[in-house]
Structure 1
Amino acid sequence: MAHDVASVNPLPEAAPPPSPRERREQIRRRVIDEGFVKIEDLAEAQGVSLMTIHRDLDVLQSEGWLRKVRGGATAQPSAVHHGDVRHRVQAMAAEKRDLALAALELVTPGAAIMIDESTTGLAVAELLPSRGPLTVISNFLAVLKLLAGEPGVDLIGLGGAYYPAYDAFLGMQTTEAIRSLRADVLFMSTTAVTDGHCYHQSQETVAVKRALMEAANRRVLLIDHSKFTKNGLHQLAPLTAFDLVIVDAGADESQLAPLRAQGVPLKIATRTA
């Protein structure tokens, strides 16, 4: 017996291809989860051309999520790419703890503290509740989440455009918000130190950090010794622009001697681990 055409189940419609934004999000997650992925594998998985994947990786690299390398993409930090927040938190964790403990000695109850979007600053934030009451000002969402609701901590979040790769608010609105405030001390870090100057990969980061420096009575820079081996594109400031530069005990004297000669106010953090 012939089947009634109307009774035949229609074939399911094929799912529409992901939008470029959705595709890049899938690529970003895979590269971060696996550490390294070949371009050919990404193209096959997404069903697009190699050229499309190259363009996607260029966008993701410009946003700070990953680094294009020969044949693929990696989320692992290097001298020029410093990884997303998850990788940055894990890197040099013991040294960051030593720097944070040294910074904590400078905090007095009742002070207004500014913290930038660095994971070294996040290590400082973890210790601040013990020094309350304090006012803490930051554009780093991780710091805001960490201290939200902490007794004795008045929290001021600096808004603006949210940059997921940095988990932070950056841009003109952020710098304007900073200019309306005044803090007792700023704790910040930097991407790289070259020839006695701080460098960063994005202009947005530099603009916000300059505004933070201008809004603080005392500027304290916290750097672990890996910063001396990294590179950055945009110059922020000379280390002499800070009232104190705290370096971990793993820094080599050959790295520190030129800074002393330039008049950089240095302090070596005590090694605790």
Structure 2
Amino acid sequence: MAPDELPNGSAELLNPQARQERIRDRVLELGSARIEDLARELGVSVMTIHRDLDRLADEGWLRKTRGAATAQQSVLFESNVRYRTTQQGDAKKALAGAALEHIDRGQAILLDDSTTSLALARALPESGPLTVITNFLAIVNALAGRPGVELISLGGSYDPHYDAFQGMATCDHIKPLRADTVFISTSAVADGHCYHQSQEAILVKRALLEAAQRRILLVDHTKFRKRALHRVAPLSDFDLVIVDDRISRAELEALREDGVTVQVAALRPGGPES
């Protein structure tokens, strides 16, 4: 019997990388998982799970606690698409609903690889015509075959972590284009700027901003309490910033004092937090 296999292990034996990917996906899917449950599910020893979790924690995927593992977004690491789509779902729907007010029939819009833009793509009306341009494969899949939508997929180097095409080749595909409006999101907002974790993603976001007549930033309230490494653009570069109404009054007032045009998307009664 292999040292990492339990006598009654029902799961197929996986190599360490495949097993760690299975653990990562499971923890991200559930939000947290008990170490004993992971060991039972994968048919390996608890000690093996501990070693795998140590590796995943070092990579920034999760936080290991006593007897369990909890998914987290590191300040320097963006969680994968599956996990990000589960975060702040109601806020993203509210932002998408508000963004729809700024889309007219016949327009060409640019959408980045954020899950907030994915929520907007899924909310687009069935009636066209509308041209959607994106580097996000999840949006391509969501809109493929949608009546009235002309879909333009931006190529480049595929990044499975973001499920998107990134890099200079993607930027080169964007340069000849000119759209009516771009909708993007970001990892963090601080000191009058928006920030992101990935340098490759920033290059594409900046190219998208340059290719649009109107620029709209979609950010939920949690982005004002996070930090990310790389600066994308000042908020003054955007024609409009749409936030959900869970943003604090202080944060909202700070935006307006900086001259940022803000729209608050209604999510719950009572308005911004005091």
TM-score range, shorter chain: 0.7 to 0.9
Give the structure 2 partner of residue 217 of structure 1. 213
**1:199/1:70 Cα in 2 relative to 1: closer, same or farther (>3 Å)?**
farther
* Cα deviation code 1:209-233 (max 9, x no counterpart): 1111111111100111111111111
Deviation by residue 1:145-186 (Cα, 9 ceiling, x = unmatched): 110000100001112222222222212221111112211100
Match of 1:186 among 182, 188, 208: 182
The correspondence of residues 71-90 of structure 1 with structure 2, limited to 5 A, is: 74-77=70-73, 81-90=77-86
Determine if contact 1:187/1:221 at 8 Å carries over to the other structure: yes
Pairwise CA distance, 1:271: 3.4
Q: Distance in 2 between matches of 1:154 and 1:247?
A: 28
TM-score (normalizing by structure 2): 0.79
Q: Deviations over 1:183-206 (max 9, x none)?
A: 110011111111111111111111
Alpha-carbon distance in structure 1 between the residues aligned to 2:107 and 2:268 = 26
1:64-120 per-residue CA deviation (whole Å, 9 max, x = no partner) reads xx1355678642346665532223222222221121111111111111110011111
Q: Contact 2:92–2:116 (CA<8 Å) still a contact in 1?
A: yes
For the residue of structure 2 that corresponds to 1:98, the secondary structure is helix
Taking structure 1 as the reference length, the TM-score comes to 0.79
The reply to whether residue 169 of structure 1 matches residue 158 of structure 2 is no
The answer for the alignment partner of 1:230 in structure 2 is 226
Q: Is the 8 A contact 1:191 1:198 kept in 2?
A: yes
1:160 aligned to 2:156? yes
Correspondence 1:75-114 to 2 at 5 A: 75-77=71-73, 81-114=77-110
Larger Rg: 1
8 Å Cα contact 2:33/2:70 also seen in 1: yes
Say if 1:129 and 1:153, in contact at 8 Å, map to a contact too.
no
Of 232, 250, 257, the residue aligned with 2:253 is 257
Match status 1:268 vs 2:264: yes
Any unmatched runs of 5+ in structure 2?
A: 1-12, 270-274
Paired AA for residue 120 in structure 2: V
- Alpha-carbon contact 1:129-1:151 (below 8 Å) kept: no
Aligned to 2:3: none
Q: Structure 2 vs 1, CA of residues 242 and 131 (structure 1 numbering), >3 Å: closer, same or farther? A: farther
- Per-residue deviation, 1:133: 0.5
Structure 1 unaligned spans of 5+: 1-16
Partner of 1:67: 62
Structure 2: which amino acid aligns with 1:168?
Answer: A
- Larger mean CA deviation between 20-29 and 137-146 belongs to 20-29
- Shift in CA distance, 46/270, structure 1 to aligned 2, threshold 3 Å: closer
Is this contact kept in 2: 1:79–1:229, CA < 8 A?
A: no
**Change in 2 beyond 3 A, CA 1:178/1:225:** same
Q: 1:180 to 1:270 in 2, by over 3 A?
A: same
* 2:118 maps to which of 109, 119, 122: 122
Question: Hey, what's the Cα distance between the residues in 1 that align with 2:204 and 2:190?
Answer: 20
Which has the larger displacement, 74-83 or 240-249? 74-83
CA distance 1:28–1:150, change in 2 (3 Å): same
Task: Report the counterpart of residue 240 of structure 1 in structure 2.
Answer: 236
Measure how far apart 1:141 and its partner are.
Answer: 1.2
| RMSD value, Cα | 3.0
